[in-house]
Structure 1
């Protein structure tokens, strides 16, 4: 897995070559976790807390990507609160602050589950989001990044944007036929 895959996931989710998620850049966040993993092998205490914090930042980034992709498909105003909570959690200085920020506004996560069955891809994206929250290792996050890239590459981002245009493709009914009814 690479930092570039993480960058691509965010770029795809935000539909932008430069999504502003991390001040230091997505690649740096990924590389900092890799560095913390190497350092934690030989250390205890503070290095372990540093590793946990770096892992949580990567996990937040993956979660943000999935929520942003979901919002692009759902355009649900209340669900935007979840994205705001996750982005606010990125400002935390340690894992305890992240937990505190998320727990304070945990009720907003319920809004993600309204109308998900209207679009199967929304449901799949939320499933990846849930798996991200359950992930406990870098390898699990790496797999979710790849799964997310695969899924997001298959999404028809314009499918629900212009439902009126679909009506234009339908042939008008024959007026003589209508009169005969």
Structure 2
């Protein structure tokens, strides 16, 4: 049998299952910061208004978990206008430090980037993805993925992962009613 590289995140709830699936895939999500830590999440979103409720939930959840938000100008303006503090970082080619500098300097522990499909954004998307892979920073490209990730981080912090540990498929099956 040949490996297809697929992984399974299995848990008693979806947020924890998603968190575990990312860990198994080698794209481990960060833990919520302890009181003495300053962990930053870089956010650059193209469609903030079209998915406003989800985008605000992502920002609020990250802030409530203790993360510092850093966004490109439009994203930072959106969050700040909605009462969620977000620092500003330059886009690629708009001055230094820019988003790639933050990744290279290990200043961020998670990147959420949902770029537009235009030609100049495609090159930025590749550059950001390569930097995230090289410097081992988790990278999310959809609002749905970002929402699942922050809910997973929240579940781990709040201990909503059931008893934890490893269970066999048979043990999970026995819980079905």
TM (norm. structure 1) is 0.29
Select the structure that is richer in strand.
2
Select the structure that is richer in helix.
1
Whichever of the two has the greater Rg, that structure is 1
TM (norm. structure 2) is 0.30
Q: Of the two structures, which has the highest relative contact order with CA contacts closer than 8 Å and spacing of 6 or more?
A: 2
